[in-house]
Chain A
Amino acid sequence: MSGRGIKKVLDDLRTTRILVLHPRDDDGDALIRQLRRIGCDVRAAWPIPDEVPKEIDLVFVLVEHAGPEAFPWTTRSDGPVVIGLVDYESPTTLKALLDWKAHGVVNKPIRPFGIMSSLVLARALGSYHARLEAKVNKLEETLRARRDVEKAIRILMELKSIEEGDAYRLLRDQAQAKRLPIGQIAANIVSLHETLGGLGLEVRGPAGAGSRTSS
């Protein structure tokens, strides 16, 4: 067990900006006071607002029968991690919990014991989830770029009657000269090629007397 790692768990907790979305009653108070005891930065609001401040990392939200559809902030890609507060374990509530994409749950009535565990776990799962999502987005982008590069290479090979390696180098040199990602240059070529093709301006290779576009 590393002392440093544990210190980080605690420090993370204390720098987490928390918003409690629960009516101002005994349960709401019990939750807020326990979060303050732990040393968290905590605010509260009710009813659930249409927007939550950008700097909020995590919300505790009372999950009733209604889902999160009415609240735009829940769909933000950099939105806060959600911990559901539940009164019931009825199928409707369970469904709502999933709809809220909760990473943790705390049962009512609120008991101080267990809140910290939910908090640590939700925070860790939430940021893991966000990292995975970012990675998937980046991979998808790379994949798309690679497809464009392949297409652009084929276009250049045909237009200039050159080998694949030369076509690639041409593309790469262009990208460097213009200081753009190679994927973007490729995408430009592909889309230009498609646009011109759509206008009936078929692009031909050098066999067509060297002109870049000829009818």
Chain B
Amino acid sequence: MTTWRVGVLFSRSGATAISESEHFFGTALAIEELNHAGGVLGSSIEPVAYDPASDPLTYRRYAERLLGDEGVNVIFGCSTSSCRKAVLPVVERRNGLLWYPSLYEGFEYSPNVIYTGAAPNQNSFQLSEYLIQNGGRRFYFIGTDYIYPRESNRIMRDLVESRNGEVIGEKYVPMLASDDEVKVVVADIVAREPDVVFATIVGQSARRFYRMYSDAGIDRRRRPVASLTMVEGEVAAIGAEYCDGHIASATYFSTLDQPENRSFVQKFRARFGANAPVSMWSEMAYSQVHLFAKALREAGTMETEQLVEAAIGQSFEAPEGRIAIEPENHHTWLTPRIGVLRRDGEFDVVWQAKAVVRPDPYLAVTPRIDAWLAH
């Protein structure tokens, strides 16, 4: 074998083009870096990339092509849950291996997937606790209408209500919502005056939503929007002046002051532009390629069972700190953090976990309610 061929399946167009392009950049950066250093076991990694345009059916078609005609066995890909669900049966049937870098709602395990993004016990739990400890009682939920927002809201409602908080509204808009559809929800928020809005709205309609929220004159220091997805790249696209004061729960922020991250941010901007936003989307995509390379070095083959065997338990000094793949559920040990957005589009990290948190996708062992932010 002259090269290690891998599939790269992130959308460069469509509703979630911004965050998925960041996945793409992170993936590309890691592959280039590895190849520059001589590849893996003497062979370079050769990416085969398609743009599935944020569409589940296109995702599925390209996954078929990659694992079929292209003869690839490993795919770095997918961001939204609907696209992952579309690709999953193909990956399982062809016994491929999908490396999935996005946070998602949990309640899934496939022997053919390595999940490197946060599970709910690594972002939702910490966010709800932070909001409640900071005086949030009356919550409002807005989401895009698909599985991730509905399931995240279910978990969030559970957490909020168990702490005597209240969900005073829960609204969903279509993936490609019109101005009017978003406007109705913003007007409802203005009327009801929640303490905090938990937003799982993604893609283009999210950008509309944050602008309208600002235009409606809502004081973001008093009534912030909290989310698991509105991070550096999206903020840059909206304009930080519309967003400062909002809150995000993520395992990575570009402002993290540690050597691995300083070097990552510097490399990323050297490659993609001095002002390129750096976020968890690119960071996790970057880190999972390195985890893959370590596993491949050990396994010496792209064959799924052996590669997975080598991957589980593998750890990496990522820009966000040490991460490791949990053998029991193929998800990843990560460090939860809460950030508050500044005027310059970067986040102040206002809280972070003392140690990496074990992934618990089925919320099976995570104690339901606890003082999550206690040190």
Contact = CB atoms under 8 A, between A and B. Distances in A.
Interface of A: 1, 3, 6-7, 10, 14, 30, 33-34, 36-39, 111-113, 116
Contacts of B158: 3, 7
A111 B363 contact: no
A3 B154 contact: yes
Contact of B328 (A30, A37, A111, A116): A37
Contact of B361 (A6, A7, A37, A111): A37
Contacts of A113: 88, 108, 110
Interface in B344-368: 361-365
Given A3-B161, A37-B328, A112 B363 contact: no
Contacts of A14: 364
Going nearest first, the 4 A-B pairs with the smallest beta carbon separation are A39-B364, A3-B157, A112-B109, A38-B362
Nearest to B109: A112
- The main secondary structure of chain A at its interface with chain B is helix
Given A3-B161, A37-B362, A39-B364, A111 B92 contact: yes
Given A33-B328, A113-B88, 7 more contacts: A3-B154, A6-B154, A14-B364, A37-B329, A37-B361, A37-B362, A39-B364
B218 to A, nearest CB: 26
Nearest to A6: B154
Contacts of A30: 111
Given A3-B158, A3-B161, A37-B329, A10 B363 contact: yes
A37 B154 contact: no
27 contacts: A1-B150, A1-B154, A3-B154, A3-B157, A3-B161, A6-B154, A7-B158, A10-B363, A14-B364, A30-B111, A33-B328, A34-B109, A36-B328, A36-B364, A37-B109, A37-B329, A37-B362, A38-B362, A39-B362, A39-B363, A39-B364, A39-B365, A111-B92, A112-B110, A112-B111, A113-B108, A116-B107
A3 B158 CA distance: 7
Contacts of A39: 362-365
Contacts, number: 35
Contacts of A10: 363
A34 B111 CA distance: 10
Nearest to B151: A6
Contacts of B361: 37
Contacts of B109: 34, 37, 112
A142 to B, nearest CB: 42
Interface in B266-323: none
A54 to B, nearest CB: 25
Contacts of B161: 3
A38 B109 CA distance: 10
Interface in B242-265: none
Contacts of B365: 39
Contacts of B362: 37-39
Nearest to B328: A37
